[in-house]
Amino acid sequence: MGSHRMRTLRPWLLLAPTLALMAVLLAWPLGRVVWLSLQNYGLRELNRGTTNFVGFDNYVSVLTQPYLWTIVLPNTIGFAVVTVVGTVALGTLVALFLATLPVAWRYLASSAVMVAWAVPAITGTYVWVFLFDAADGLVTHALGGLGVIETGSVNWFLERWSFFGIAALNVVHHGFPFVAVTVLAGLLTVPTELYEAAVIDGAGAWRRFWSVTVPVLKPIFAVVTILSTIWDFKVFAQIFLMPGGSGTNREVFNLGVWSYIQSFAQGRYGLGAAIAVLLTLLLLGITVVYLRTLFVEEDL
């Protein structure tokens, strides 16, 4: 009897420290941010320590702003769509290439890909900014040398499209190695007989990819796509550290940066919290899809 109770209790004893920690460290701040989002909480309230409950006013204010619909949401969602497609496509391409290599070369080439993964997001962001610097960037010099543009005359960071183009190059560069090694690991588990049978049936490389590789690796593609979506929705440093991204150019904010600027630069903590809650809800939706995909696939 005692040992039976011990057996039911054991998993919870092992989980207790983690659960307790998470409850305190996550649930508490999370409760606070929701509470904050229901208040008109600015520097005055911060200094006085008073509260000023306004219900859903912050949400109404955020959701009725044309700025949200014309700038921030397109910046967040459009950017995520482009970078996810880019990351998964490039990662898959690299994986297919790696799979054709002999083992020793594959190992070497994977190392090279993993070096790109190892470059921290912050380092990557500085590099891409330096590459496209209006006066001294490598790309600017190269294009100037080719006579495409006049060096120093174009500032890529001022314009929304080129700003996000550079940000996309940066985010895809940081993200594709993960997709590449994951898809590669999957590719190596695909039975070669399937490809041989397809070859006998006269299927070309393109056809083999779509009718053998994609169906077999569907769960893997689902996981890397959803994970990339989640990461690309919440990019912060990669936008914030680009010229204009830290507050001067409102054209380039995404939900995360907008929330940060409202809270820390403008001192409108209530509004910033409301934006953060909206971003959280958006990610929660994607996560639920992710969990369903995962639990359908494997029995934990």
User: What is the footprint of another protein within residues 39-98 (CB under 8 A)?
Assistant: 46, 90, 93-94, 97
CB of 62: closest distance to another protein in angstroms? 14
Binding segment for another protein among 67-75, 77-85, 157-165, 215-223 (CB under 8 A)? 215-223
Hey, is 53 helix, strand or coil? Answer: strand
User: Hey, which residues between 175 and 204 contact another protein (CB under 8 A)?
Assistant: 178, 181-182, 185-186, 189, 195, 199
Q: In 41-56, which positions are buried (b, 16+ CB within 10 angstroms) versus exposed (e)? A: beeebeeeeeeeebee
**What would the DSSP string read from start to end of 217-280?**
THHHHHHHHHHHHHHHHT--HHHHTSTTTTTT-GGG--HHHHHHIIIIIT--HHHHHHHHHHHH
Question: 111-150: which residues touch another protein (CB under 8 A)?
Answer: 111-124, 126-128, 130-131, 135-138, 140-142
- Nearest Cα neighbor of 80 from 300, 285, 299 is 285
Separation of alpha carbons 20 and 24, rounded Å: 6
Binders of another protein among residues 151 to 170 (CB under 8 A) are 169
Output 33 or 54, the one with its CB closest to another protein: 33
**Cα–Cα distance for residue pair 5/134, rounded to 1 Å:** 69
Range in contact with another protein (rule: CB under 8 A) among 11-19, 54-62, 65-73, 156-164: 11-19
Q: Going residue by residue from 241 to 280, which x/- string records binding to another protein, judged by CB under 8 A?
A: x--------------x--xx--xx----x--xx--xx-xx
